[in-house]
Amino acid sequence: TIYLGDNRKIMPWIDTVDLLLTDPPYGLGKRISSDWMGTTDADVSWDVKPCEVTIKAMLQHCRQWMIWGGNYFSEWLPASRCVLVWDKMNGTNDMADCEVALTSIDQNARCFSRHHFSKGCGGKVHPTQKPLPLMRWCLDIVPEAQTVLDPFMGSGTTLVAARLEGRKAIGIEISERYCESAVKRLAQK
């Protein structure tokens, strides 16, 4: 299910899900540029500040959670035993070598190594899009989670991964353009 709109208005109507798997804006704002993000979309207003209210609301709607960029929200998230690390295998460039997700999972820390655009990752539609194999790996960590919520759906990678893994998913996105991209991606799977 895909909802077009502001997740702060939609989330109160969402039932509890098994897993929140998302990548919210980190609040980097003007520190990012369209060239650096690999897109021609120069509007980065969506990443002006972290979304404290939304983070707190999201946690009320899930049994377990995985939040990429969780290190940016550590003051609003509980301590995390199972930290996920995505080693981007970038080599030497201006982008981060890795990204971190904080989770509520009671397991040891895990690391996923894969270059963003390696085979099987697909093309990039959204400036901060995660690779499909990364999101499938996240779902593999919690095989019991049958319903997945991504309130910052972007181009729908979490929903595509959920479909491929035989799970139900709910995505919320404020941009009509990215909702349309997600619908197209899901139609291809």
125-145 confidence digits (pLDDT tens): 767 788 899 999 999 999 999
**What is the structure's pLDDT at 39?**
46
The C-alpha torsion from 71 through 117 and 48 to 21, rounded to 10°, is -50
C-alpha angle 176-25-173 in degrees, rounded to nearest 5? 20
* Chain segment 8-32, per-residue pLDDT in tens: 899 899 999 999 999 988 765 544 4
Q: Which residue do the tokens 């990364």 mark?
A: 134
pLDDT band of 116, cuts 50, 70, 90: low
Structure tokens at 88: 């981007």
pLDDT band of 157, cuts 50, 70, 90: very high
pLDDT band of 35, cuts 50, 70, 90: very low
Most distant pair of Cα atoms in the chain: their distance: 45
Report for 1-10, 30-39, 43-52, 93-102: range of highest mean pLDDT: 1-10
**What is the structure's pLDDT at 19?**
98
Q: How far apart are CA 96 and CA 92, in angstroms?
A: 9
* Chain segment 39-58, per-residue pLDDT in tens: 444 455 544 455 655 777 78
Mean pLDDT, the chain, as a whole number? 82
Q: Is the pLDDT of residue 107 over 70?
A: yes
Q: Which residue do the tokens 């919520």 mark?
A: 149
**What is the structure's pLDDT at 17?**
96
Q: Write b or e for each residue in 44-54: b if 16 or more Cβ atoms lie within 10 A of its Cβ, otherwise e.
A: beebeebbeeb
Mean pLDDT of 88-92: 73
DSSP 30-97: GGS-TTTTTSS----GGGSS--HHHHHHHHTTEEEEEEETGGGGTTTS---SS-EEEE----SSSS-S
pTM of the model: 0.83
Q: Return the H-helix or E-strand segment holding 102.
A: strand 98-103
**What is the structure's pLDDT at 156?**
94
Nearest to 19 by CA among 143, 178, 164: 143
